[in-house]
Structure 1
Amino acid sequence: MAADKLSTGTLNQKDLASYLDYHLLGSAAGVQLFDAVRQAWAGTPQEAEFRKLREELSAERKELKALHRSFGHGRNKLKRLGAMAGAVISRLNPLNPTRASGGVGTQLELESLLSALRGKQCMWQILAELAPMDPRLDALRFQELEAQAVAQQRRVERMMNSTAAQRFLASP
């Protein structure tokens, strides 16, 4: 969409509320997945980093909830049920049910975390683009949150790369 259209258009608040609702759904599952990953990495040097990431995501989720409420829309009941189901599935952690910090399941977990963080980055980016259209949207804050999502991705990538040998090298 061209920048001139953005400055003269009005937001479709119903669509924006639905979009934010979907991201709230994903964020609930994401927080649970980060918690499950932290448990899998308990006792490792990475545990503290996963704990910190989970805390950051929890804080961002609260901010997203407040933004959603600022538009006067309640959560979609069906999506809330989906979020609860997603949280349960994340807690069960089908990618790594034994909670091991090695192997294919761990690799898939890390890739899923990266995917969730990338989706969150896209949301903040889109909200920053839409900010000129509504005073409730703070472009600078969304740019900060987008940068934080990029930094979070880099942190997970560093842990993934630095521990890859543990997962894929054969034991002697």
Structure 2
Amino acid sequence: MPQTATGRTPRHESLAAYLDDHLLAAETGVRLFKAARKTWEGTEHESVFAQLVEQISDERDELETLILALGYQRSQIKKALAWVGAAVGRTGPINPLSTGRGPTGQLELETLQAIVRAKECLYRTLLVLSAHDHRFHAPRIREMLELAQQQQDAVARVMEETVPARFLT
């Protein structure tokens, strides 16, 4: 069994499950950001969500590539959950009317921020692991961490700019 730079052996089962969980969440995130792009279509914020969909899709693909490069297999159960989630996601579960108005528009933006925050936590975890395991490329993880923070800021800006229209008369 390979050892890390510190001589410790990776817990492959735990790490594989953790990364697979984040991949499942990333797949869900892509669907929710696509729904948000639809919500904000035709507004000044449309381009923000179009860019976020592209970035988050690319990150999901990169995570899947990492999982395979590490020699881990996707859980068949989680693959099935991703398929079910895709079917449910088409209905726009958070904001089914695809409107930026009212409490559902607010909840959608808050959920998107939470998704990106979870991804930031993944990168922080991988950054710690990179100090112990040479399979994780610290400079790239730092780039991804910075991108996640920029994505959070972008969603927060849309929320802050649009919240008065949702709740003030």
Contact in 2 for aligned 1:20/1:68 (Cα 8 Å): yes
**Which residue pairs with 1:22 in the alignment?**
21
Alignment deviations for residues 109-160 of structure 1 (CA, whole Å, 9 cap, x no partner): 0011000000000001100110133222111111110111011001100110
**Which residue pairs with 2:154 in the alignment?**
155
- Structure 2 counterparts to residues 48-67 of structure 1, below 5 A: 48-67=47-66
**Which residue pairs with 1:169 in the alignment?**
168
Q: TM-score, normalised by structure 2?
A: 0.93
**Which residue pairs with 1:3 in the alignment?**
none
Q: Which runs of 5+ in 2 are unaligned?
A: none
**Which residue pairs with 2:141 in the alignment?**
142
1:97 is displaced (CA, Å) by 0.7
Query: Separation in 1 of the partners of 2:30 and 2:103?
Result: 21
Task: Give the paired residue count.
Answer: 166
AA partner of residue 86 (structure 2) = A
1:65 is displaced (CA, Å) by 0.5
Contact in 2 for aligned 1:11/1:133 (Cα 8 Å): no
1:60 is displaced (CA, Å) by 0.6
1:92 is displaced (CA, Å) by 1.3
Q: TM-score, normalised by structure 1?
A: 0.92
**Which residue pairs with 2:108 in the alignment?**
109
1:88 is displaced (CA, Å) by 2.5
Q: What's the % identity of the aligned pairs?
A: 39
Query: Separation in 1 of the partners of 2:34 and 2:103?
Result: 19
Runs of 4+ in 1 over 3 A off after TM superposition: none
- Root-mean-square deviation (Å): 1.5
Contact in 2 for aligned 1:117/1:153 (Cα 8 Å): yes
Contact in 1 for aligned 2:6/2:133 (Cα 8 Å): no
Contact in 2 for aligned 1:10/1:133 (Cα 8 Å): no
Query: Separation in 2 of the partners of 1:125 and 1:84?
Result: 28
Contact in 1 for aligned 2:109/2:159 (Cα 8 Å): yes
